[in-house]
Structure 1
Amino acid sequence: MPFHSYPLASRLILVVLLPLLAVVAWGWMQMRASLPAESTLTLSEGVSEPTVIARDAAGVPHIRATSEHDAFFAVGYAHAQDRLWQLELQRRMTRGRLSEIFGEESIDADAWFRTLGLHASTRSAWRALSPEARESLTAYTSGINAWLSERHPLPIEFRMLGVEPEPWTELDSLAWIKMFALDLGGNFDREMRHFVARQSMTEPQIATFFPEYPEDAPTTVRTGTPQVAATLGAMLDAQHRRQRNFGISVPGTGSNAWAVAGAHTANGAALLANDPHLGLRIPSLWYAISIDSPGLKVSGMGLVGLPLVVLGRNDRIAWGGTNMMADTQDLFFERTDPEGTRYEVDGRWVDFDRRVESIGVRPKFPQALRKRYVPVTVTVRTTRHGPVISDRYGVFDSPVSLRWTALDDDDTSYEAFYRLNFARDWNGFRAALRLHVAPAMNMIYADRKGNIGYVAAGRIPIRKRGEGVLPAPGWNDEWGWNGYVPPDAWPSVLNPPSGYIVSANNKVVDSRYPYFISHDWAPPARAERIEQLLHDTIAAGRPLSVDSMRDIQSDTLDLSAARLMDHLRDRLPEGGRRDAAADLLRDWRGEMQGGSAAATIFTEWMRQLRLQLFASRARADWGRDTASDLLSQMSEDVEYGDLLAVLREGRGGWCSRDCDSELGDALDAALWELHKRNGTWDMEGWHWSGNQFTKYPHMPFSQSKSLARFFERRIPNGGSANSINVAAARHQKSEGYVQTFGPGFRQIFSLDSAGIRHLYVNSTGQSGNVFSPHYDDMIGQFHDVRLQPLVSSYDRPSESEPIAHGPSVPDNTDGTTR
């Protein structure tokens, strides 16, 4: 229609809509301009020779360089292209500078990270590195800063928050290793829980929340005052907020890794599978990379902030890892003088080391109309044990300090992984890991000669007294550390008689091992299930393959839930709607598939039972908000095996009589809850994946409902905390079961004399830029456990180094610690 017939509409189009469309189009082009080119890029500045970054269909960079310096430079450049906002967040997190961009809500986190001194402790770690390791970090740092210096359009997060990225430094990389160690730690959290619980619980009740590892379960290697209690409770509350807001893993989290010798495989190749578990987020913590240079040929998954492949392979060996769950953190109560300026050491007073930290805080929106905040000043006290972590909570007469291996002056953890990238065989693998400090890890090995192996790597303290279960007196040497377990005594095995090695955060060694490692082992169900699947396949005479490894990674059977259901099968409550639920549960065997309605009913039933047995009684008994909230949270974590002990053995005296009344009441509450959530009484339609979903939060825009729709990703999911395909979810009233912890990636390797077949899938995508097609293109693949090849240019046997099957070093045939 002619515009003159509609003058008002034409003005609206010309004056408002067309300019608005032009602005949107310009903004879209600007945001797209922040993406790296999908085609091959050749770097010529900052490198000694032209260096190629060739991206494959998944956006993974394959780097070809003529020197290691140029290769690490290119890794930094690629990280800046794909994950610049992630790098900025990581740098600010370890330095305690989040409040400068997020405002007052981040002050507590900044104070915490400043107190730990993650970044400050990297100066001594830098001095402990070899010149070659330092050079790799310097080259990587130069690559990141080269991208910044070219003034490319910035990702949208920078623009929306008005933030300019600052140059990266080598110490920022080292600090991120310590944050990674903190993510996999958490012993001090467990110590605080244990201490607070002891104020009001009996020993049998405490055993429900802090159980011993079962004697017959798998091992990887076969061989205070009320004021103090209130303070620890407040510290736990703050810790839980940090875990929720910043994706820090909760205690007890872990991973899966296993290796199979060629004697049990279809083509004689050694197999290795790995899927490490951490707090989920978008983008993923992990970044796929491939490097081909004359001295370094390596590919796999690296951590953003580091130039290395952390878990992956080179042209000779492959390696995976899981959290060892070692107790490497201890809390110490310190005795102070009346002024709080000195603390006691063996009968004498010693001055605290003090430093003052200033935290800048961004005003609330709109900044122009708000007064600027005065910087928050934090005084950090340090004792001989480490930083005092309780000062923020106002208790100075019994301060609590933290001893942690990751804060040691000579932390050479980066050196260990640097050398691991160059390892050629079992001896090189072990030699590299001798330098590892934190986090303590189970490292699984396989090579092209058919060997499989395992090393428990990392510093494990030797305590003069006790086992670090509770905070200890710090005013004398009676409870201190007496060095570390020597590397020669680290649990280790090569080519065990079984032909396979399994690590799923289960207990590492049996009772014959002479050193204490931990009480914090994960429940054994995942390790038992992996061993069961491997053993049954081998016993049936069926060869294992890459497809077998993939099937195991996708397995959702929860053995712990199955055992509990076996006990409950003859005790199912009856009458009314209970009968329909019982019909679904009676034939259920612990399978947590997404389409299972029985899995939904069982999970909610057990949640309601925990609330009735533990949380509600705790509130009545304790009568204190902090302690009540703490035990309510702890009740959610009572594992099915321990719940079985309560029901079958009466452990802790939690049930009023025989628990039958509690079981019936809990089932009624569960059915009403599921009816409200699903909107129907058709129980067969209560599919588990309709009640549980995986959430990949974005920092910080998941905090805004409107922005979360654009930046955050969610997908329905099955699985449970004890299934191999882990889905450790927490119940949230408005949303059901929300999984924010699980595998960060999956990898499978097949190694033989002809080469290495390498399959992988990342949890979200390769890019951290929401406008990239690789921002979330792997979420569906990951959910379906569809791995894809990571093919590197060096995937061919070396003519100068022929490879034959057979062990390269003598077998450790008895399978004991070496």
Structure 2
Amino acid sequence: MNKTKKIFIWLLLVSSLVIATIATWVFSRIDGALPILDGKETVFGLSKTAIIERDELGIATIKAENRLDIAVATGFIHAQERFFQMDLLRRNSAGELSSLFGEKAVNYDKSIRRHRFRNRARNIVSQLPDEQVNLLQAYTRGVNQGLKYLKGTPFEYILLQQEPVLWSEEDSILAIFSMYIDLQYHDGQRERTLGLMKALLRADVYDFLNPKGSIWDAAIDGTQYEPAALPELPWPSASAKQSYMSDHRYISLNKQSSQYQGNSAQAVDSQTSQTISGLTEKYRTEYFPGSNNWAVAGNISTTGSAIVANDMHLGIRVPNTWFRASFEYPQNSEQIKITGATLPGTPNIVVGSNGNIAWGFTNSYGDYSDVIELVTNEDNTQYLTPDGYKAFKSEREVIAIKDQKATEVNVQETIWGPVIGKNHQGALLAYRWVAHDKEAINLHAIALESAKNVEQAFDIAARSGIPAQNMMVGDNEGNIGWTIMGAIPKKVGDIGDTPMNWATGENAWQGYLTPQEYPRVLNPKKHRLWTANSRVVGDEMLAKLGNGGYALGARSKQIRDKLFAKASFSEQELLDIALDDQAIFLTRWQAFLLNNVLTEQTIAGQAEFLEAKTILMKESKLIASTGSVAYRLVRNFRIALRDLLFSELNSTFKSLDEQYSFRAIRHQIETPLWQLVNTQPDNFLMRPESSWQALFKKALMQTISDMKTTDDGSEQPLSAATWGQQNTTTIKHPLSNAVPIIGYWLDMPANALSGDSYMPKVQGKSFGASERMIVSPGHEETGIFHMPTSQSGHPWSPYYGKGHEDWEQGRASAFLPGKTVYKLTLLSY
């Protein structure tokens, strides 16, 4: 017994020693990955000394004697704080995530490889002007030196059992390509969806479901476009010209005309369980990568300069997309000082203020890509061009997969772009996209750091290569302006929202707009400008931009109306607009529920319906506040009704073409949806219930049932189902789901937040304002800046998570970096 006890104690001691050794090793590796905050380090690539100061939030002020040394120091600090994030950006657009995450990323990598972005990035670098190449080289040297000076591998690579790969100049281009993927369609999904609809529906039906305008339009030039009228004949039905379709497809779209009176209920239940299932995802369909920005001129600002406000809406995770920084350096006998947000992986300030101008962005959603229907020979080995038939060019892409053998993808290329699939008739489709051209990316935007006024900023914007953005800019003389920043293709022929044939040469891109041709608005008479991803301008300017899937104008309209509600504005008053969570868009849906759905006849015998009506009547002013049950009820009812109403139509389209996506057109559907539920026509043949009232009742029953079901599956009273309960944040590190125990240290606290998608304060569970900036050039000391998560990507950093609470609560926090707490001096060799 004593011997057994001694063996047990000995094994316990050895095990404890092994565990302690492993824990010490892991601790040392993780601790060694913390950035250097103080002291002096000699860094290869610097021509002179550079200084990195950080305040208590980790916001960096980088000082150097020239712009190239600023780039070296920026690369150094990005690598030290955010290298894993940078690595994900380059791998995301290069289609190389499988080498980190294994087989689960292979399908995504395959879908991205057809764009061959790494090859395109190399070509772009080779064609950049020398001064831009020098900047990339300086930044790259800084990144690799920053990685080298970490005492340990960034902790993410320890968990993944990988080693980081050094940075290259092309990787910075790839980081920007990742923003193209985030902000524009990389697969032509919207155009393919509209193409299917146009091919299968009568012209009046297609126009009805694809309206050109709505009551929510709030263009800065005041243009309005009317929605199409309701179809008068029974619909949907394939037009006569679709007689080429096979019988089973034709019948698939029309058979509902004899069944809509009641035989489809079972099918609807099945479809609903698929299309409208899972409380986590079911009501999260509204979020839209984009942003808000607006500006007021100096004659209505409290500073006398223009004031620019900007909040860019993206998916939010740990760490945040942006890294806050201030650059100070001499240039042409003047001292440049610029403050704002950088994108780790790139060397410049993305949005900010330099004392003379301030600028911000919202995603443009113009039409910067086109799907092309190819005419091919019988065996699909050649395709027709204006110069006759040409053979497809085949490119082999090898995808490395962690712990597995590599796989290959063959990419078919045309003169217009890669082949991306087939349409519902089996015709091959090619993709023409700005991202495929050398004009897509350059570093000309760095000139904004020294721009003096709005007109100079306009010229820089028209020469810059980024995913096309609505640029809002103001200067210290009080001028304000809007333009597009990024390349705009010059299109000829019948090119619009749907795939077209380009074989004759009549349809084509003829280069890109010159700076003189760019749409722009300078100093409007009423001294206010605004954008929010919806249509910004009309007529000739709209014709240059096209429609790539604009957001509904509800946010723009609400911002516009708030801007005209006061005669002058301070930074705090513009922040108040950014935090506006009033649900103006849903006010009419609240009235619809009360007046058209929750009638006395409907309520009779339905205690839940009576309770719902009581809840709705208590909130005369609907607000997306955390404690509101009424807001959640109205919001979710609208989504449930919309998805149910179009469920059979969507199911039919999806059966004909897997690339059909209701999500891609969900915002434009609001206008026909409202027309349908208010007119309640009998000629809509795919209504999934025998009567409109039955449809409304079913959608409401489903909404209430979902609200009464908590995330763990238990039941709760309807009165407890608040908006905050549904809109509780889940802002996580990319690895916390894979290794759940680390989420405790990595993820941000889960808190209920107000706001939603159709109001200025855009806020979802893991989506929303990736930054909020309100700044008046020349008055940066009174500017405001919010950013979720924090500067650091390391959970042991002294400023990890700092600033996040200000973003959550909407408290005004400083635009400029605060008092220096940490100082690192980088010395040249």
Q: Give the TM-score normalised by structure 1.
A: 0.84
- Separation of aligned partners in 2, 1:97 and 1:635: 30
Q: Does 1:766 align with 2:791?
A: yes
Partner of 1:608: 640
Say whether residues 1:699 and 2:734 are aligned partners: yes
Shift of the alpha carbon at 1:209? 5.1
For residue 751 of structure 1, the aligned residue among 774, 777, 783 is 777
Pairing 1:786-805 to 2, within 5 Å after superposition:
786-791=811-816
**What aligned pairs does 1:245-644 form with structure 2 within 5 A after superposition?**
252-295=288-331, 296-346=336-386, 348-363=388-403, 372-373=404-405, 375-390=406-421, 398-411=427-440, 413-511=441-539, 513=541, 515-519=543-547, 520-538=549-567, 543-573=568-598, 574-575=603-604, 576-586=607-617, 587-616=619-648, 618-619=650-651, 624=655, 640-644=670-674
Instruction: Note the alpha carbon deviations across 1:388-420, whole angstroms, 9 max, x for none.
Output: 1228x9x99732111011211344x43331212
Contact 1:255 1:275 in 2 (8 A): yes
Residues 757/79 of structure 1: CA separation in 2 closer, same or farther (3 Å cut):
same
Rounded Cα–Cα distance in structure 2 between residues aligned with 1:705 and 1:119? 33
- Matched to 2:510, the amino acid is N
Structure-1 residue corresponding to 2:725: 690
The equivalent residue for 2:48 is 49
The AA in structure 1 aligned to 2:551 is A
Q: Residue type of the partner of 1:667?
A: L
Give the 5 Å matches for 1:645-664.
Answer: 645-650=675-680, 653=684, 655=687, 659-664=692-697
Structure 1 residues 471 and 705: alpha-carbon distance in aligned structure 2, compared to 1, 3 A threshold: farther
Mapped to 2, the partners of 1:514 and 1:612 lie a distance apart of 33
CA contact (8 A) 1:315 1:756 kept: no
| Distance in 1 between residues matched to 2:24 and 2:483, nearest whole Å | 55
Instruction: Give the one of 805, 810, 818 matched to 1:780.
Output: 805
Partner amino acid, structure 2, of 1:113: I
After superposition, what is the alpha-carbon deviation per residue over 1:301-348, rounded to whole angstroms, capped at 9, x for unaligned? 111110100111113211111111110110112122334332211372
1:480 Cα offset (Å): 2.1
Change (3 A) 1:672 1:13: same
SS of 2:180's partner is: helix
Secondary structure of 1:119 counterpart: helix
Pair 343,568 (structure 1): closer, same or farther in 2 beyond 3 Å:
same
In structure 2, how many angstroms separate the alpha carbons of the residues matched to 1:417 and 1:194? 34
Aligned to 2:195: 195
Shift of 1:513: 3.9
**For residues 432 and 25 of structure 2, what CA distance do their matches in structure 1 show?**
53
Cα distance between partner residues in 1 of 2:426 and 2:177: 30
Q: Secondary structure at the match of 1:694?
A: coil
Match of 1:366 in 2: none
Q: Distance in 1 between the 2:158 and 2:586 partners?
A: 48
Cα distance, 1:68 vs structure 2: 1.2
Q: CA deviation at 1:474?
A: 3.2
1:672 matched to which residue of 2?
A: 705
For the Cα contact (< 8 Å) 1:189–1:251, is it kept in 2? no
Q: Residue 214 of structure 2 aligns with which residue?
A: 214
Give the aligned partner of residue 237 of structure 1.
none
Please state how far the C-alpha of 1:525 moved relative to its aligned partner: 0.8
Q: Distance in 2 between matches of 1:433 and 1:253?
A: 21
User: Shift in Å at residue 75 of structure 1?
Assistant: 0.2
Residue ranges of structure 1 left out of the alignment (5+ in a row):
231-243, 364-371, 730-738, 796-818
> 2 CA distance for matches of 1:28 and 1:532?
54
Superposed CA offset, 1:726-750 (max 9, x none): 13x5xxxxxxxxx343221111102
Task: Quote how far apart the aligned CAs of 1:658 are.
Answer: 6.7
Query: Residue 760 of structure 2: which of 720, 724, 727 is its match?
Result: 724
Greater RCO, CA 8 A, separation 6+: 2
Q: Which amino acid aligns with 1:283?
A: P
CA RMSD in angstroms, aligned pairs only: 3.3
SS in 1 for 2:153: coil
What is the CA distance between 1:53 and its match in structure 2? 1.0
1:734 corresponding residue in structure 2: none
Is contact 2:552–2:668 with CA below 8 Å preserved after alignment?
A: no
C-alpha contact 1:615 1:635 (8 A) present in aligned 2: no
> 2:208–2:672: 8 Å Cα contact kept in structure 1?
yes
CA contact (8 A) 1:41 1:53 kept: no
**Alignment CA distance shift 1:301-1:694 (3 Å):** same
Tell me if the contact between 1:259 and 1:273 (Cα under 8 Å) persists in the aligned partners.
Answer: yes
TM-superposed CA distance for 1:190, in Å, is 0.6
CA offsets 1:105-132 (integer angstroms, 9 cap, x no match)? 2222222222112221123322443222
| Residue 76 of structure 1: how far off its partner (Å) | 0.2
Partner of 1:161: 160
Please tell me whether the aligned partners of residues 322 and 343 of structure 2 are also in contact (alpha carbons under 8 angstroms).
yes
**Alignment partner of 1:389: what SS?**
strand
CA distance in 2, matches of 1:352, 1:199: 26
Contact 1:340–1:396 (8 Å) recurs in 2: no
SS in 1 for 2:702: helix
- Provide the identity percentage: 25
